[in-house]
């Protein structure tokens, strides 16, 4: 199934914050093997912004995606829910989250949460988590509290 990108949302102040944080994170990416730097930023349930970048290593392709870094930063800061996420990458194609990151995002976001895709100049598309990972398996399937054991 190929996803057709919907019309991008207008860059609101909230999206501008995410865009700026993702762009800054992209500039710090460590991608000497793929030469494909990616930045991601998310807003948590309290409104805090957390950013991450991809980090590769010599055992390529073992590394960390930008989205995983942003999620780890959120969790380390005490956040437990993604309210919105923006992924920023280079090139003419849309840089949507990989399959593993879609599942990571789903762990902390419900199907209606927006995932925005951008390049260094503009917002290019927006999707819901449900569109990126339809009929997904998540914490609710296990009866788990998605806020975690420290909620």
Q: What is the DSSP string of 100-136?
A: HHHHHHHHHS-TT-EEEEE-SS-EEEEEEHHHHSTT-
**Residue pointed to by tokens 């819901």:** 128
Count of residues in the chain: 151
Contacts of 112 (CB under 8 A, 6+ apart): 128, 129, 130
Query: What are the catalytic residues?
Result: 67
CB 22 within 8 A of CB 54: no
């Amino acid at each position: 199934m190929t996803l057709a990108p919907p019309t991008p949302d207008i860059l609101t102040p909230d999206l501008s914050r995410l865009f700026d944080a993702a762009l800054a994170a992209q500039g710090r990416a460590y991608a000497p093997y793929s030469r494909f730097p990616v930045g991601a930023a998310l807003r948590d349930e309290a409104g805090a912004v957390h950013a991450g970048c991809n980090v590769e290593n010599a055992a390529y392709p073992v590394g960390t995606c930008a989205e995983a870094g942003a999620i780890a930063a959120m969790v380390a800061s005490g956040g437990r829910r993604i309210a919105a996420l923006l992924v920023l990458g280079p090139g003419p194609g849309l840089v949507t989250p990989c399959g593993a990151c879609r599942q990571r995002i789903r762990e902390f976001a419900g199907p209606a949460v927006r995932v925005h895709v951008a390049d260094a100049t503009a917002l290019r598309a927006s999707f819901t988590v449900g569109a990126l990972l339809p009929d997904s398996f998540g914490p609710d399937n296990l009866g788990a509290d998605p806020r975690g054991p420290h909620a």
